[in-house]
Amino acid sequence: MAPLTLHNLHVSPPCRLVRLIAGVIGVDLKIEDVKDVFKDMKTPEMLKKNPQHTVPTLEDNGLCITEIRAIAMYLVSKYAKDDSLYPKDVNKRVLVDQRLFFDQDLYQRIASILLPKLHGKQSDPANIEKVNDSLETLNRMLDGKQWLAGDNITLADYAVAVSLSALEFDPECGINPTNQPNIKLWLSRVEGSHAKYGDNLKELREALQKMRQK
């Protein structure tokens, strides 16, 4: 099998999710690191493949896929040994889908407080409120539950956990998801679910440490 190529930015939470899912299901990726995402993804060749000029972008034998949740669904549907991460049963799958759509909104909310900081600006307090609101929602979703969708870990758990880990970019932002009791317990379950999750988080923390030392 020709290797799947991932156009990748090492610390990007979306890219981390794709690397994590590939690792968990045992798919090898050829990693093409972009140096400057705002330049490298905007060459005429790349724009033809991915008009959104975003990473991650996955290429599999001529098929070019963007949007992390679509990439994750594709990887599991095509390459996983079973469907536990993304069930084939429509009634089970819709539970995962609804949490993945929740995750899309959550990640946008988190990004809206992180991105201004990366450009030396203050985050809008209204956006911080929105993140806190999402965390309260997430805490309610986990009431009496081990996992976000169904009886076992799914793509939804990995996606939401990776989105929350983006908050580690700015420890000063004052938002700590583990202040919510159900989230705290669930996160430790996700962390213990697969060695690749721990490796992925460790890589992020090491990269952030290096960035801060610069």
Interface residue list for ligand GSH (CB under 6 A): 9, 12, 14, 37-38, 53-55, 66-68
Nearest distance, CB of residue 68 and ligand GSH, angstroms: 4
Would you call 84 a catalytic residue per the annotation? Answer: no
Whose Cβ is closer to ligand GSH: residue 53's or residue 184's? Answer: 53
User: What is the rounded distance in angstroms from the CA atom of residue 10 to the CA atom of residue 190?
Assistant: 21
Nearest distance, CB of residue 5 and ligand GSH, angstroms: 16
Torsions phi, psi of 187, nearest 5?
-60, -40
Choose, from 12, 134, 163, 165, the residue flagged as catalytic: 12
Whose Cβ is closer to ligand GSH: residue 12's or residue 200's? Answer: 12
- Sequence letter at residue 118: L
Nearest distance, CB of residue 81 and ligand GSH, angstroms: 25
Q: Do residues 164 and 187 lie in contact, with contact meaning Cβ atoms separated by under 8 Å?
A: yes
Whose Cβ is closer to ligand GSH: residue 57's or residue 180's? Answer: 57
- What ranges make up the beta strands (E) of the chain? 4-8, 29-33, 57-60, 63-66
Nearest distance, CB of residue 107 and ligand GSH, angstroms: 7
User: What is the rounded distance in angstroms from the CA atom of residue 144 to the CA atom of residue 190?
Assistant: 16
Question: In the chain, count of helices (H) and strands (E)?
Answer: 9, 4
Whose Cβ is closer to ligand GSH: residue 50's or residue 154's? Answer: 50
- Pair of tokens at residue 185: 């317990």
Active site (catalytic) residues = 12
